[in-house]
Amino acid sequence: MIAIVLGTRPEIIKMSPVIRECERTGTDYFILHTGQHYSYEMDRAFFCDLALPEPKYNLDVGSGTHAEQTSRILTGIEHVLMKEQPDIVLVQGDTNTVLAGALAAVKLHIRVGHVEAGLRSFDRTMPEEINRVVADHISDNLFAPTETARQNLLHEGIADDKISVTGNTIVDAVFQNQDIAKKKANILDTLGLEPNGYFLVTAHRQENVDSPGNLKNIIRGICAIHEEYSQPVIFPMHPRTRKMVEQFNISLSGISVIEPTGFLDFLQMEANARLILTDSGGVQEEACILGVPCVTLRNTTERPETIAVGANMLVGTRCEQIQEGAKEQLKERNPWNNPYGDGRASVSIVRVCNSLPARIKTE
Ligand code: UD1
Ligand code: UDP
């Protein structure tokens, strides 16, 4: 039995192909939602869009400091795992949900599978980097999306026989949903947007939006792009960012700020954008998969594959660099290959899980 642990928007999206694959193969599983994300547009919207089954458990942990949130998740997951005694716990990515899920399981001697293992920004000031490193080192099965990720793990002394290079489940999610998005999503019409006639922005990283200087610079850079190209800039705003924009009293004049959208609408906006500017991990990947140029509002990335193929550029958070980066990324370029796999990562992951020996249950 597989326990699928998730708690935030990207985990719901990237675990959705694994859940579908469990359903397709008749694999015994259940979903444990930590409730790290809980607002409709960060949580339920994705269960609806992706037609996912209800989680068996929801810990409703909500927001808090890192220690508060992580400790609530840790305690809640431990209770569920002691009751359910799954053979393996699957966690995905680099959130506090992942750190706590992996830690609770390994202490109960339950096998941990880390989906999207081996990513490294090499910046330990990012909370996500700490979560990734710890989760990788206490996992039994490391599902690395690329060869680069596998090499990162090997360099840290992780045994090769624990690692499977599977591709990233985001490719599965994009392939499974892009035709549905074409038929069902109508956000371009709703917002009056022309294909290739607008810029799409997301930003929510703690080090960017919790810093008044960085957030002001990012917004200035985005406003400057709006003025320079006279095209709409659409910014579906993460609740964390909205809170900080209000707290720092930052003006957003010229930018079209909207609520975070569901996955189908977001896919439609990404696929038709002229350029994407983001600090999101998943959005960097999706831009690369969809063939849309991307400017990343950070100094480092754990997605170097996107840079290597020419899809993405790191520009940091300064206004002038954001403008320069946009200019550069808008130049004509040859199409690139998607480095994240063929859309069958979830098939490989569930196959590996099903080939493991059953666990001897503890009292
Ligand atoms: C978390 C992850 C981050 C991931 C992101 C995906 C950690 C350390 N961070 O960041 O890696 O990229 O999710 O979006 O795990 N809030 C709401 N409603 C919600 C959720 C959050 O209003 O449903 C607001 C609250 O004010 C909260 C703030 O957003 O304090 C931050 O939420 P939190 O889950 O702590 O971190 P994220 O920034 O969402
Ligand atoms: N996303 C979405 N609606 C939005 C913004 C993002 O559906 O308004 C999706 C996007 O397609 C991607 C995921 O959310 O799959 C990325 O999540 P986020 O940027 O919150 O987290 P990260 O990937 O940085 O951890």
| 114 flagged as catalytic | no
324 with 347, same domain: the answer is: no
21 with 164, same domain: the answer is: yes
Nearest to 130 by CA among 98, 160, 108: 98
10 with 143, same domain: the answer is: yes
Angle CA(285)–CA(120)–CA(276) in degrees, nearest 5?
Answer: 25
38 with 128, same domain: the answer is: yes
In a domain, 335, yes or no: no
205 with 64, same domain: the answer is: no
pLDDT at 361: 66
248 with 295, same domain: the answer is: yes
What count of residues does the chain have?
363
Nearest residue (by CA) to ligand 1, atom 16, is 239
255 with 347, same domain: the answer is: no
127 with 43, same domain: the answer is: yes
In a domain, 174, yes or no: no
| Pocket probe mutation, ligand 1, options 8, 71, 99, 134, max atoms within 8 Å of Cβ | 8
In a domain, 362, yes or no: no
Q: For the chain, what is the domain count?
A: 2
Catalytic residue among 33, 37, 204, 238: 204
In a domain, 306, yes or no: yes
Residue type, 152: N
In a domain, 76, yes or no: yes
115 with 255, same domain: the answer is: no
pLDDT at 363: 52
Does any ligand 2 atom lie closer than 6 A to the CB of residue 280?
Answer: yes
In a domain, 80, yes or no: yes
115 with 22, same domain: the answer is: yes
Does any ligand 1 atom lie closer than 6 A to the CB of residue 303?
Answer: no
| H or E stretch covering 209 | helix 206-209
Quote the domain boundaries for residue 103. 2-168+342-355
In a domain, 175, yes or no: no
Task: Say if CB 359 and CB 111 are below 8 A apart.
Answer: yes
CATH of the domain at 64: 3.40.50.2000
pLDDT at 362: 57
Give the three-state DSSP class for 6: strand
In a domain, 249, yes or no: yes
312 with 347, same domain: the answer is: no
Residue 97 CA, closest ligand 1 atom number: 15
Q: Over the chain (363 residues), what is each successive 10-residue block's mean pLDDT?
A: 98 98 98 98 98 98 98 98 98 98 98 98 98 98 98 98 98 97 95 98 98 98 97 98 98 96 98 98 98 98 98 98 98 95 98 89 58
281 with 249, same domain: the answer is: yes
- Rounded to whole angstroms, the Cα distance separating 241 from 250 reads 11
